[in-house]
Chains A and B, each alone.
Chain A
């Protein structure tokens, strides 16, 4: 434990593994790799561009019109598109869901690639662990389902929400209030926080277990055979590594699924 405590007085310019002062550092502005005017290019920005390029390359090379029989890679990409279109867009929203399938496919693939950066060997940093990205994606979904709700149902969208006619008259104000807060305030926040917290928790656990395992094992010269506990942490970290792959795919799927459910509740508010 002394060795880990000793890193608390390191300086942030030299050391890579430094214990920060408090956890607010997760939300603070890190020193940028370089800046162009007011735009600061941190590693997060580079990783977002990389994710975008991976998504674009995936779809461009996978869906180029081949002959009647597609290649194996094209088959994979086609099955991904079909999965999002049939199971999520058409399955949840109904026949009008085909309009929203491109958007759902985009966010599904982008979040999937971004989450899988957690387990790629030299990157190990999920881009959804910085709150800006899940927040922005959730805001786009929010704008979409609110605009669709108003354009399809007019003002009756909010009217039927805050004054539901299928509830006994004495409780209508309460249910209406709960529904209003839940739809317009809680939905975007929980959508973003769910993705963000899952990624932060996974990243934190992996960093903690793997780095502390490595530090323990590499300090054999100082504390002798007691460094063997590092092996335990490292193996546990490798187990969490595999679990993170499942969490990455699951969180991308859940974000897309919930976006489809919110759009569906705007398109068919009577359900």
Chain B
């Protein structure tokens, strides 16, 4: 509920900013910031998962180790995306 209201106020502030008033741009800027911050981890997780699938296909005996390391890699890269998500709400 508060996210719906937050997004609505941010869109109102963005509309104001577009028309020239830059006093209240921290909300829209945080939203844009989160959007930009989600690009890197998205690509990164795709790379990690893709290489893990390739490793599991080339050597099925190593599937267990590859799966564990894939989860590890996904956790590390997803942490950055979630950091952006939380900071969007703080700002």
Contacts and interface: CB of A to CB of B under 8 A. Distances in A.
A194 B78 contact: yes
Interface stretch (A49-57, A120-128, A201-209): A201-209
Interface residues of A, number: 36
A190 B79 contact: yes
B42 to A, nearest CB: 15
Interface string A79-122: 00000000100011000000000000000000000000000000
B75 A207 contact: no
B68 A87 contact: yes
Interface string B1-33: 111111010000000000000000000000000
Interface residues of B, number: 22
Nearest to B5: A19
Nearest to B91: A23
Contacts of A258: 72, 75
A17 B2 CA distance: 10
A30 to B, nearest CB: 14
A44 interface: no
A49 B55 CA distance: 43
Question: Of A1, A193, A211, which is in contact with the most chain B CB atoms at under 10 Å from its CB?
Answer: A193
Given A253-B71, A254-B71, A254-B75, A197 B85 contact: yes
B83 A190 contact: yes
Interface string B70-84: 011011101100110
B82 A194 contact: yes
Contact of A208 (B4, B64, B74, B89): B4
Interface in A1-58: 1, 4-5, 7-8, 17-20, 22-26
B1 A201 contact: no
